[in-house]
């Protein structure tokens, strides 16, 4: 099974901490996907705590808060500034906020009824361990519902960088088949999966890169080039990307994998 390159967890935490201020102004796709996730896999009325895992600035937390019926709402994120922004954004939403790593969930077994996660699990290296831990904390009959990026995400940007050098410039992501295998191994055997290709338009490659930086989506692969990108390398990449322009815009693809898993 081919796995994405090893991720730099320290860089992930720092990237999202730095993006806390700019995130909401640039995260239109994340909001669109979050709403689609809840539409596909609605919050269940069963009693028990609901966890927003990787809550970011709290958009999904707010939607879960509006949908739940007397359920305890928990919001968790690895970056403290993101968590602080979520608390500010959701002053009227009763929730408990925890700064923690999704790969080391700080909950006892059988204590959470439902887990939701919107475009956050792609930043976890060991998904098999994440899913096993999710199953550990889920109460009997509970569900895990999440969205994550698939391998076709930013395929245009990846192809353009491939003409420059052999380093990893765009993060790799697990396929839906790999994700299902991890879930089954964890004991979550009732799995619903849907892959949807979203495409966004940008006036330039630099506009795309500005957005990615502003939401904290840096290249965090350990296989990235540790030397600064030269102006010439950047210009070469942009020239190759712009060959595929439609009118005055470039297209960026995002493969979104929607999943609901239960025992």
pLDDT for 33: 98
Tell me whether residue 120 is in a domain: yes
Residue 222 lies in a domain: no
Cβ(142)–Cβ(72) below 8 Å:
no
For 62, what's the count of Cα atoms within 13 Å in the CB-facing half-sphere?
Answer: 16
| Domain contains 226 | no
Residue 97: in which H helix or E strand, if any? strand 96-99
**Residue 3 belongs to some domain of the structure:** no
**228 assigned to some structural domain:** no
Structure tokens at 76: 């968790």
Note the pLDDT tens digit of each residue in 155-181.
999 999 999 988 888 888 999 999 999
| Per-residue pLDDT, 225 | 61
Over residues 32-68, the pLDDT tens digits come to: 999 999 999 999 988 899 999 999 999 999 999 998 7
Is 237 inside a domain boundary? no
The tokens of 184 are what?
């089954």
What is the CATH number for 57?
Answer: 3.40.50.150
Cβ contact 82:55 at 8 Å: yes
Q: What is the mean pLDDT of the chain?
A: 91
Location of structure tokens 């391998």: 151
Query: Which helix (H) or strand (E) segment is 115 a member of?
Result: strand 112-118
Domain count, the chain: 1
User: Angle at the Cα of 197 (from 192 to 202), degrees rounded to 5?
Assistant: 150
Alpha helix positions (H), 97-154? 127-137
Count of alpha carbons within 13 angstroms of residue 202, beta-carbon side: 25
Report if pTM > 0.85. Answer: yes
Residue 11, both tokens: 């860089």
Please, are residues 259 and 53 in contact by the beta-carbon 8 Å criterion?
no
**Residue carrying structure tokens 């990235």:** 224
Q: List, for residues 174-230, the tens digit of each pLDDT value.
A: 999 999 999 999 999 999 999 999 999 999 999 999 999 888 776 655 556 677 889
Is 20 part of a structural domain of the chain? yes
Residue 221 belongs to some domain of the structure: no
Domain residues for 129? 9-151+172-198+255-262
Q: Quote the pLDDT of residue 118.
A: 98
């Amino acid at each position: 099974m081919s796995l994405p390159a090893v991720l730099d967890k320290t860089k992930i935490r720092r990237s999202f901490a730095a993006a806390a201020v700019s995130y909401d102004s640039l995260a239109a796709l994340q909001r669109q996907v979050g709403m689609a996730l809840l539409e596909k896999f609605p919050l269940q009325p069963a009693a028990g705590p609901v966890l927003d895992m990787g809550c970011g600035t709290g958009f999904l937390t707010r939607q879960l808060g509006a949908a739940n019926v007397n359920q305890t709402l928990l919001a968790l994120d690895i970056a403290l500034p993101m968590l602080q922004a979520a608390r500010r954004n959701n002053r009227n939403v009763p929730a408990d906020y925890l700064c923690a790593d999704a790969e080391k969930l700080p909950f006892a077994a059988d204590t959470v009824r439902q887990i939701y996660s919107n475009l956050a699990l792609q930043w976890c290296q060991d998904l098999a361990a994440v899913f096993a831990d999710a199953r550990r904390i889920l109460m009997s009959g509970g569900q895990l519902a999440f969205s994550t990026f698939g391998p076709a995400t930013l395929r245009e940007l990846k192809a353009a960088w491939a003409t420059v050098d052999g380093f990893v410039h765009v993060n790799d992501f697990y396929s839906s088949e790999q994700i299902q295998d991890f879930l089954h191994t964890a004991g979550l055997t009732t799995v619903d999966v849907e892959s949807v290709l979203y495409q966004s338009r940008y006036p330039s490659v630099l506009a795309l890169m500005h957005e990615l930086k502003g939401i904290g989506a840096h290249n965090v692969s350990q296989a990235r080039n540790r030397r600064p990108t030269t102006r010439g390398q950047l210009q070469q990449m942009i020239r190759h990307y712009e060959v595929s322009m439609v009118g005055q815009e470039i297209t960026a693809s995002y493969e979104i994998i929607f999943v609901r898993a239960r025992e």
